[in-house]
Amino acid sequence: MSKRLLFCICILGLALALPGIASERPAAPAEALKMARGSKGEVVFNHATHGTVECSTCHHAVEGKEDYRSCATAGCHDEFGQKAKSINSYYQAIHKRKEPQHQTCLDCHYKNAENDAEKLKLLKNCKLCHK
């Protein structure tokens, strides 16, 4: 293989890799986030206590690209009624357990505690999240 061809292959590989390298994910907020879209009170979410969960678990891809905006961003989960059932339902994005399109908060809590009765009791307690 000629040096010129090898050089071109290296340049092409670098050009294809650069967008992935350049698009680093933003730092998680250090302060707790207050989610107050429902009627059951405010839910406080702290990224630090969820540090072992990959960002892409909750911040799922939108149109094939990583998206780190808030769930309640306009055009995402921006239907706030508890009875809303569409994919844009904020309530469903957090609480749906049967066949969710993406991982939900409640589904994750159940899965993480399924073999530990005490932990399950704690993570199923709505008052733990809703203050």
- Which tokens is 22 given? 């350049």
Q: Is residue 86 part of a domain?
A: yes
Tell me the pLDDT tens digit for each residue of 39-83.
Answer: 677 888 888 888 888 888 888 888 888 888 888 888 888 888 888
CATH classification of the domain holding 52: 3.90.10.10
pLDDT of 123 over the 50 cut = yes
User: The pTM is what?
Assistant: 0.66
Asked if 46 contacts 32 with a C-beta cutoff of 8 angstroms, the reply is yes
Distance CA 121, CA 126 (A): 10
Read out DSSP for 59-104?
Answer: S--BTTB---S-TTSTTSS-B--TT--STTBHHHHHH--SS-SS--
Burial label, 91 (beta-carbon count in 10 A; 0-12, 13-18, 19+): buried
Q: Give residue 106's domain range.
A: 28-129
Q: Is residue 22 part of a domain?
A: no
Q: Which residue has the higher pLDDT, 127 or 84?
A: 84
Count the domains in the chain: 1
Tell me the pLDDT tens digit for each residue of 8-40.
Answer: 454 545 555 545 444 566 788 888 888 876 667
Asked if 41 contacts 130 with a C-beta cutoff of 8 angstroms, the reply is yes
